Amino acid sequence: MNYDNNLIFSANITISKITGLSKVQLPGCPRIITRAEWGASPPGHNPMPLLTQVPKYFFIHHGASEPCFTKQECAAHVKSYQMFHMSPPPKGRGWWDIGYSFVAGEDGNIYEARGWDEIGAHTKGYNDVGLAVSFIGDFRKRLPNDAALNAVKQLIECGVANGKVAHNYTLRGHRDVGNTECPGQMLYDLIQTWPHYY
């Protein structure tokens, strides 16, 4: 166990809870569009469950949707993901909020979903030990642009530097632990060349 990481992680959660301040934009992070900025609906569950340890896994997903290249377009996509995740079956997932930790657009921005500290609903069996980012778009036959790829790499590095992701984290694609094409073949092939991919 990395006690330094766990102390930093616990301290950040405590400060956030006491002050009510958003701790999503950390030093060294790419631009993170907050939930308030993209117009998130309130979660259907309060308080949000918090992670109890520094996440050991970081998962890559894709939305299998149309792409976005402006903040306005990307915010609309994130809102649609949240609506789908929160809508009851059969039209949605019936979750209490958007499932991902973060969402990445080809505008080069990262969008706060559940953020650094809340348990997600992104990767069955790993939600309480991992974070996940979903790239907006369909990456079965093409790659995300450099703006999106660089933003996600910087997000992970920032998470490690600020004690939000374990230094010895494991990077995986959604398909590595589930019966899915996600995050798309082209993106999946690429992330296998990234640091920490098992």
Give the Cα separation of 170 and 50 in Å (integer): 20
Between CA 71 and CA 153, with CA 103 as vertex, the angle to 5 degrees is 100
CA–CA distance, 191 with 168 (Å, rounded to integer) = 17
Q: How high is the pLDDT of residue 4?
A: 43
Per-residue model confidence (pLDDT) at position 164: 97
Tokens found for residue 161: 């530097």
SS3 32: strand
Mean pLDDT by 10 residues, the chain (198 residues): 41 38 82 98 82 95 98 98 96 95 99 96 96 99 99 98 97 98 99 96
Q: Are 197 and 188 in contact (CB under 8 A)?
A: no
Burial annotation 168-189 (CB, 10 A radius, 16+ → b, else e) = ebbbbbbbbeeeeebbbeebbe
* Angstrom distance (rounded) from CA 189 to CA 198: 13
By C-alpha distance, which of 148, 146, 147, 160 is closest to 62? 148
The whole-angstrom separation of Cα 78 and Cα 57 is: 23
177 — phi, psi (to 5°)? -130, 10
pLDDT of residue 45: 81
pLDDT at 17: 37
CATH architecture of 3-191: 3-Layer(aba) Sandwich (3.40)
